Copies of this chain bind each other. A is one copy, B any other.
Amino acid sequence: MANIFSNIPSDIPNEIVEDLVNTQKLRIERIVSKGQSSPDTGWYDQEENEWVIVLSGFGEIEYSNGDKIMLNQGDYLHIKAHEKHRVIATSINEATVWLAIFY
């Protein structure tokens, strides 16, 4: 057993990405952000589908068509493969913990 809110440093100069599960079928990641946007340039254009939930903090996602979605605690979203998107803002006051399932 482990806790999703454990081992979060107070200083987070770069996004922290950890695999919690990684098999041929799926990957479960914990992503911890604090003020970062990502990727640094351009868009995520993923081979896999992604189901993502914000467990603390908040993050704002933009799609390549200009749509923006603010995700607060408990909000979840399904991002299909090759649906171009990026994270344009995350909380600077607290860590944003994302749980992302890629499949």
Interface residues of A (CB under 8 A from B): 1-6, 20-21, 23, 25-26, 28, 51, 53, 55, 69, 71-72, 74-78, 99, 101, 103
With contacts A25-B25, A26-B25, A26-B103 taken as known, whether A3 is within 8 angstroms of B76 at the C-beta atoms is yes
What B residues does A20 contact at CB under 8 A?
Answer: 51, 76
What B residues does A28 contact at CB under 8 A?
Answer: 51, 101
Q: Give min CB distance, A27 to chain B, whole Å.
A: 10
Q: Give min CB distance, A76 to chain B, whole Å.
A: 6
Q: Give min CB distance, A68 to chain B, whole Å.
A: 11
Contact of A76 among B4, B51, B76, B78 (CB under 8 A): B4
Are B76 and A2 in contact, CB atoms less than 8 angstroms apart? yes
Are B4 and A101 in contact, CB atoms less than 8 angstroms apart? no
Contact of A5 among B25, B26, B69, B74 (CB under 8 A): B74
A75 to B23 CA separation, bound complex (whole angstroms)? 21
A61's nearest neighbour on chain B, judged by CB, is B1
